Each structure stands twice: as structure tokens, then as C-alpha cells.
Amino acid sequence: MIRSVIAATGSCIPEALRRNEDFLSARFFTKEGVTLMQEPTVLLERFRAITGIAERRYAQPEQTASDLGFLAAQQALTSSGIDPETLDYLIVAHNFGDVAMGSNRVDLVPSLASRIKARLAIQNPNCVAYDVAFGCPGWVEALIQANYYLRSGDARRCLVIGTETLSRVVDPHDRDTLLFSDGSGAVILEARTSGDAGILAHHTQTHAHEYAGLLRMGKSYAPEQSESADRFMKMEGRKLYEFALQHVPLVVKAALDKAQVPLSRIQKVLIHQANEKMDVAILERLFQLYGDARPDLSLMPMTISWLGNSSVATVPTLVDLLLKGQLDGHQVVPGDHVVLASVGAGMNINAVVYRF
């Protein structure tokens, strides 16, 4: 049996650090254009209590999403010694393409995958490079696609990258701006016919009929920008929270059922770093589905406190840091079972069960 195994990982954590206190002078408005009168320190303290975010990372002014993706991919290739010319697919998950500093205009031609392939100097035309836009779950979905290629015998190695510069597409007058950050993560998935390690199962859903508008693009909340053609990322926070709690645990359970792996055998849950309070509630709801007691939160490594929400980059960055022993108190050993899960715009949800 062919299994898809993680052969190498990499990540790019940008150097520019933005702490919560850096936003003390920000002017925030409601979606109706009314100034938020809450004391800035109180607002930021409440934000941290709910989201767990104390700081986030932004790309350097000269960097774009494809630059960050290239650095993560280069790290995975260099650390593993894998020849880039042996890659059969190079898949890049993102949602906004390359956005230059000082602009929120999307640049998608050529694809980010083609740009990164060119930067890696891969000459092999049989290395197929393409992009995936699937909201925050885009990297997990790209991993699922790569798994299909490998299991079918069509490919031997796939490089799967998640990269985003959300700092370029957020409204500085919307307090949700505090959630978002930049970053990139990459994994090389390899087909192997021996051993038990690899992807065991997955499950994906799209809830577009009622929920497609929970994350969308919209005008700035600042009244003076009401006539601007610029559009920024907007979200219905409370509704999104309720959606995630209702649906994400069911998708994870469906993946576990397909893999025939009980929740008791899961050593780690690597979930999209969207909101600490929400992620904890999702894990608790998952355990409730199995009739289990309150979960041990050490099952769920978190990076959101210092990296924020970098969309498609959060899960591959978690994988990279975990496997490199850079998450204090967290490790995996051969035979451990791990869940990778994400939720985001679309509204899309996915989960993968992986055995190390």
C-alpha cells in the first residue's frame, strides 16, 4: 500500500514584530462607522483574553507572500537534501496572492506556485505548479490533493506550501485587524510503500449555502474612506465562532471514523490558529461527541499568542515547529497519531489524520 509521508518541513516566521500595545493609538470603528469609545488599554486586554494573541509577525516591506513561501520551501528542501528536480507537484495555498506594501491590490499572474518554482530554479517541466484558494483551510486541502496524487501512483514527491500576508489586506480601522498576521509553512510529502506512517484519512466540507458571507471583502469602517474603491477582509466574528463550534468537531470525528482511529489514540491536535478561546471550545466539543471528560489542553499546541492568525500558514508552521522540537512541552514519536484541522472562508472545513 502506498502512503503519503512527511519527508521534510520548513517555515518562514517574519521578523517584524507587532505587539498589542503598538495599536494603542489606532482608531477603530464599528461596521456602521461609529467610533469605538472603549479605552484602548481595556479593548486590547479584552482582545487578548478572548483570542490569546499578544503579538503577531508582519512581512518586511519588500517581501510578498511568494517570497515567504519560497523561504519556507527552501528550508524544507535544504534541511532534507531533497533534489527540487524530483518534485512532481508544487502546490501553493493562499488567498490574496502577492500584495505589495502600501497597496491591497491582488497580484495573481503568474501564479504564486510558478513564481516559487522559478525562484527555486526548478527546470523540470513535469513538476506541475499551481495555486489553491480555499480560505484558511487551503493548506490542509492542498495536502489532501497531494495525497491523492501520491496514492494514485501519479507522483512520488509533492511540495505543499501555505503562505499569506494578511497584514496587507486588513482594515486598520477594524479591530479584527488585530487577529491577522503574515507567515509561511511548507511540507514535502513523499510516497512510500513500507512502514505504517503517513496520511490515514481525511474529511472536507463546504457550507456555502448559508455561510459563504461570514468571511468576505468589504469597505473600510472609517467614514472618511466610505467612497474608496479599496476592499478589506471582513468577518462576522460571533456567527463564525458559533459555526466553527457546531461543525468543526463533526468533521474531525468523520476523519477519525474513516481512519478507524479512536480519539483516545490521538496524541496531538494541530488546529488552525484562529482564536485561542474558539480552538479550546472546538477541542472540548470534540471530546463531548465521544462522551469524554474535559480534554487535556496539552493535546493542542498553540502558536497564536506570538504568531497571530496567518491563515493558511498556521497549520504547516505548527507541523514544522513541532517536528523540529521548537514547541515547548510538545513532541511526537513514531507511532503517534495527529489530527490536522482547519476552518475558514467559504465556509470550508477539513481534517486529516496522520500517523508518524
Q: What topology does CATH give the domain 199-355? A: Peroxisomal Thiolase; Chain A, domain 1 (3.40.47)
pLDDT, tens digit, 9 for 90 and up, residues 10-43: 999 999 999 999 999 989 999 888 888 888 899 9
Q: What is the dihedral of CA 107, 60, 92, 243, to 10 degrees?
A: -90
How high is the pLDDT of residue 92?
98
How high is the pLDDT of residue 104?
82
Residue-range domain boundaries for the chain: 3-194, 199-355
Beta strands 182-192 and 89-93, pairing class:
unpaired
pLDDT, tens digit, 9 for 90 and up, residues 274-291: 999 999 999 999 999 998
Between CA 141 and CA 91 the distance in angstroms is 10
C-alpha grid cell, residue 238: 460571533
How high is the pLDDT of residue 165?
97
How high is the pLDDT of residue 229?
84
Please count the helices (runs of H) and the strands (runs of E) in the chain. Answer: 9, 13
Between CA 327 and CA 319 the distance in angstroms is 10
Domain 3-194 and domain 199-355 have a common topology: yes
How high is the pLDDT of residue 289?
94
pLDDT, tens digit, 9 for 90 and up, residues 312-322: 999 999 999 99
How high is the pLDDT of residue 230?
87
How high is the pLDDT of residue 10?
98
pLDDT, averaged across the chain: 95
Between CA 23 and CA 12 the distance in angstroms is 24
DSSP strands (E only) in 110-196: 128-132, 157-165, 182-192
Q: Is 162 exposed, middle or buried (0-12, 13-18, 19+ CB in 10 A)?
A: buried
Q: Bridge-partner residues for 192, per DSSP? A: 3
Query: Distance between alpha carbon 243 and the CA centroid of its chain, in Å?
Result: 18
Q: Does domain 3-194 have CATH number 3.40.47.10?
A: yes
> Is a pLDDT exceeding 90 seen at residue 195?
no
DSSP strands (E only) in 133-220: 157-165, 182-192, 198-206, 215-218
pLDDT, tens digit, 9 for 90 and up, residues 51-74: 999 999 999 999 999 999 999 999
Task: Say if residues 90 and 117 touch (Cβ distance below 8 Å).
Answer: yes
pLDDT, tens digit, 9 for 90 and up, residues 119-168: 999 999 999 999 999 999 999 999 999 999 999 999 999 999 999 999 99
How high is the pLDDT of residue 112?
98
> Is a pLDDT exceeding 90 seen at residue 102?
no
Task: Say if residues 180 and 57 touch (Cβ distance below 8 Å).
Answer: no
Between CA 326 and CA 166 the distance in angstroms is 24
Between CA 236 and CA 239 the distance in angstroms is 6
How high is the pLDDT of residue 228?
87
Place 87 in a pLDDT band, splitting at 50, 70 and 90.
Answer: very high
How high is the pLDDT of residue 156?
96
Tally the C-alpha atoms within 13 A of residue 23's C-alpha that lie toward its C-beta: 28
SS3 351: strand
Place 114 in a pLDDT band, splitting at 50, 70 and 90.
Answer: very high
